[in-house]
Amino acid sequence: MRIIPAIDIIDGKCVRLTQGDYGKKKVYREDPVEVALEFQDADLDCLHLVDLDGARVGHVVNWEVIRDIQEKTALSVDFGGGVKTEAEVEQLLDLGVHQINIGSMAVKEPETFSKWLKKYGTENFVLSADVKNGNVAINGWLEDTKFRLFDLVSRFEAEGLEYLTCTDISTDGMLEGPNIGLYKKLINKFPKLKVVASGGVSNLHDLEELKYAKVYGVIIGKAIYEGKIRLEDLKAFQNS
């Protein structure tokens, strides 16, 4: 199971939200690059990087942070937040971003996402599905939709989708444990997909449960910043 620490950015700073609420923002660090380097120094090799400004306004905003992390670390970065155009896709790939998370576009312009999967390769994209009561939320979780999670995933799996990150909004930032049942259902229904769990992880026991559920990876954010999980413990877990 891949251990993927997260950095969420607002105004160039490292922050976390609670249940996706921009009104419940906490700034943890002024310099996201320093945080990324700490993850690298702990022998972690992946990073989930989210431009929350971009997610809210509908285009990538924090380009400088993305460039700095790409230039100053060797982390394998998956990036999300406001990617809406082919020009942004190409710019991110040119910067060396490993994968691009697509959420809102997959719901609002599925034909465009399908075209990107075909043109740039399915290995370069992650379908990022943020879920509330079984329905997908978009635009930085600010807009609810009537799209059901399993219908959305089925649509793109049929077109070669390989990677899925699923966040249960009700658990995100709550430190009360992930929605294990949801991930088991996804893995049972889509056994070929590489499913990454996101939201709610608060301790090493949560990681053990997710590993047992056979998720491909797990994104960890607030638990790191609040000191619930130490980087040295993640290093040991990753190597176990």
119, amino acid identity: K
- DSSP 8-state class, residue 59: S
Cα 51–chain centre separation: 11
Range list of β-strands (E), the chain: 2-10, 13-18, 21-29, 46-51, 76-80, 99-102, 125-132, 135-138, 143-148, 163-168, 194-198, 217-220
Residue closest to 165 by CA, chosen among 181, 180, 186, 145: 186
Tell me which residue has tokens 């992650």.
Answer: 126
Catalytic residue among 51, 53, 78, 130: 130
Q: Is 207 helix (H, G, I), strand (E, B) or coil?
A: helix
Cα–Cα nearest to 192, from 154, 159, 162, 151: 162
The residue from 8, 51, 53, 78 that is catalytic is 8
Active site residue 130: yes
Stated length of the chain: 240
Check if 206 is active-site: no
- Which positions are catalytic? 8, 130
